[in-house]
Amino acid sequence: MTTKTEIDNMALGHLGAHAMIQDHDTDESAEAKACRIYFEIAKKKVLEDFDWPFARQYADLALVSENPNADYTRSYRYPSGCLAIRGIVTGTVHTPSDARPTYQIGSDATGRLIFCNESPATIKYTKEITDLNIFSMSFVMAQSYLLASMIAPRITGGDAFNRQEKAMNMYFLQIAKAQSNAANEEQLLPEPGSSFERVRD
């Protein structure tokens, strides 16, 4: 089990900090306070930046209205706890890019909306995760580097060694590795080409 305190201390380690946090929730050190400010923001940003398999969810959308604007025939309520929509489900794992349903995000007085022409509509999305037990090690590493980049100005005393930038570069590297790991863990049919390529073949 990975804890918030462990992720905090990994972030501090990336910055070369000597002080370690004893408890994420109760420690009153400057390091702990900095980590508490940015921890949840960093976690949500990492979840948003990649279609993490452990955070992947599907939802049947709740219809709000028909013909909501001149571009789309349906508006649906944006799901609670959704951090990033990955696409509208078509019933086929790989739908050619030029045949995927289009959609856009908007809002009304109640909250965010999804505009599209599908009826009914189901989306694949990344859900906000609160249970650290299901985080992959790739995610833990990525969050620790992003957290390090966020707290660097408060921790490094001027950042003479550009540790904030180095941490951010490592974050991007971790996301790339996570994408590769996720691809290796899943077994999907090859993605078809465009309609032009299919006709040509």
Say if residue 121's pLDDT is above 70.
yes
What does the DSSP 8-state code read for residue 133? Answer: G
Strand order of the β-sheet with 63-66 is 63-66, 74-77, 112-116, 103-107
Beta-sheet pairing, 122-127 with 56-60: antiparallel
Whole-structure pTM value: 0.84
66-91 confidence digits (pLDDT tens): 999 999 999 999 999 999 999 999 76
Show Cβ contacts of residue 80 under 8 Å, excluding neighbours closer than 6 positions: none
- Which is more confidently placed, 40 or 187? 40
Q: Answer whether 119's CB lies under 8 Å from 60's CB.
A: no
* Per-residue pLDDT, 26: 95
- What mean pLDDT is reported for the chain? 89
